[in-house]
Amino acid sequence: MSETILIIEDEQLLGRELRGYYVDLGYEAVWASTCQEARETLKSPGMKPAVILSDLNLPDGNGLDLLEEFRAIVSACEWVFLTGYGDVPDSVRALRLGAFDFLTKPCEQEHLDMVVQSAVRSAQAQRRILTDSLNAGKRYAPESYLGSSNVARQTVEMLRQLSQVPYSALILTGETGSGKGLAARILHYNSQRSREPLVELNCAALPKELMESELFGHEAGAFTGAKSRHRGLIEQADKGTLFLDEIGEMPLDLQAKLLKVLEDRKVRRLGGEQETTVDIQIITATNRNLQDEIKAGNFRSDLYYRLSVFEIRLPSLRERIEDLQDLVPNLIAEFNLKAGKKVTQVSSQAWERMKNYAWPGNIRELRNVLERSVILSSTEQLPEQWLPAAGSHAATMPIVNNAGAIDAEFFGHGGADEKHSLDLQFPTDGSMGLDEMESEIVRKMLEKYHGNVTEVSRVLKTTREKIRYRIGKYHLR
């Protein structure tokens, strides 16, 4: 389906020309020559423009007033202003109101094309977020956090209560795999903001420069490679929730910038002059002890106090081991459905094994173990041999030798260097998940390079941040 561009332009010649131009490019182009006409067009059923290309001064009003009137009604749409009078106050107001760009006539066709193209992409991204959020709303009811132990019930109750009240910031703590990501979704999708975007960034996954431009956005030319304007994640989360995962990994200078956004409720793109007002709620998550990080000088205490207006600690699976009674049948049912299996019975030995194991990777580890067991089942009984034994360690998974070797392609550009081959052999019969293989690769590499993260990241052609993130995730210290 082609995208719609609404052109609001009173100059007959230019209006007609623009419409013809965009129709030729394959867009659905609609032209209105007055504010009134534009209003009627925007209210007509099925009218969902991706971009509105508007003149400023129109015979019966001003394009900016139209933007102000319609911005809450027309969703997933970007406004670009094209005006003969490039007034600074107007451009400031336009950007304050959330316009995508403000161009002065005459404007080079090439430049206009680029701006319109990136505005269309931005509108499409917003639309995707909106549809995702409608579907997700159904999936993340507070009850999707399973468990009937006291701690689990308290956690659900807390999630339910906090999703009903407005707060500026909230921090989720807990071990890896304990459900911080799930809790963040429950909080967002049951709140007043549920129809607005939930925008997520994993601070451990990006190098610093990229994280900065992702979060704060940039103007064209802000740095080499910044071809066009980019709206940062903070702006994209406007009216919704910004979820910063692994906040403990954020570099100190970005912590300072984030603190400023929280204090001023305004964000400025890299290389930009204007500040844009944002209304966001921030959820952060960490499996580090931030108090320790503050003492070690790795985390700003002032930011911590801003972020920890509320704190929810997600209990580990060990603390609520009786919840296996709820979790195991639910997860088995989920994987039965996915793999077309019919596992319905869990022997008492299997229960014992699961209850006596420490689950350092918490629910994520439980999910992986059960998924593998269900896939490999041949009867209605959950096979026991794939369940971890008490006292065993998560990182020492069985490596079977009868299967092909797999390289480390998922680390980014290419796999491990041949000269450094570890001859890793992984089963490809479904008995081992990607996470376990990845953990095994990083573990072996760390062993080989005596824990030197820089060296390991170089050999695996990835960033230190990514390796450090995986060390934490898979408990490889």
Q: 323: part of which helix (H) or strand (E)? A: none
Burial environment of residue 152 by CB neighbours within 10 A (0 to 12, 13 to 18, 19 or more): buried
Q: In this structure, what token pair is assigned to residue 402?
A: 């009868």
Q: Which of these segments, 51-59, 69-77, 128-136, 180-188, binds ligand ATP (CB under 6 A)?
A: 180-188
Q: Which of 15, 137, 181, 383 binds Mg ion (CB under 5 A)?
A: 181
Q: Does 179 bind ligand ATP (CB under 6 A)?
A: yes
DSSP secondary structure code for residue 75 in this structure: -
β-pairing, 230-231 vs 217-218, is: antiparallel
* Least separation in angstroms between CB 424 and ligand ATP: 23
Sole residue written with tokens 């431009």 = 213
CA atoms of 240 and 195, how far apart (whole Å): 8
Kindly calculate the radius of gyration of the chain based on its CA atoms and give it in whole angstroms.
26
Q: 5: part of which helix (H) or strand (E)? A: strand 4-8
* Least separation in angstroms between CB 202 and Mg ion: 8
For residues 382-441, which are near Mg ion according to CB under 5 A?
none
For the window 349-368, what string marks contact with ligand ATP as x by the rule CB under 6 A? --------------xx--x-
* Least separation in angstroms between CB 426 and ligand ATP: 22
Q: In this structure, what token pair is assigned to residue 337?
A: 């459905």
For Mg ion, which is the closer residue by CB, 217 or 248?
Answer: 248
Q: Which of these segments, 177-185, 233-241, 294-302, 338-346, binds Mg ion (CB under 5 A)?
A: 177-185
Torsion of CA 443, 445, 449, 452, to 10 degrees: -70
Torsion of CA 201, 206, 207, 211, to 10 degrees: -30
Q: Which of these segments, 47-55, 129-137, 177-185, 263-271, binds ligand ATP (CB under 6 A)?
A: 177-185
Sole residue written with tokens 């009867």 = 379
For ligand ATP, which is the closer residue by CB, 280 or 327?
Answer: 327
* Least separation in angstroms between CB 14 and ligand ATP: 52
For ligand ATP, which is the closer residue by CB, 177 or 272?
Answer: 177
Q: Does 142 bind ligand ATP (CB under 6 A)?
A: no
Q: Does 174 bind ligand ATP (CB under 6 A)?
A: yes
User: Would the CA dihedral through 65, 66, 72, 77 be positive or negative?
Assistant: negative
Interface residues with ligand ATP (CB under 6 A)? 145-147, 174, 176-182, 287, 363-364, 367, 473
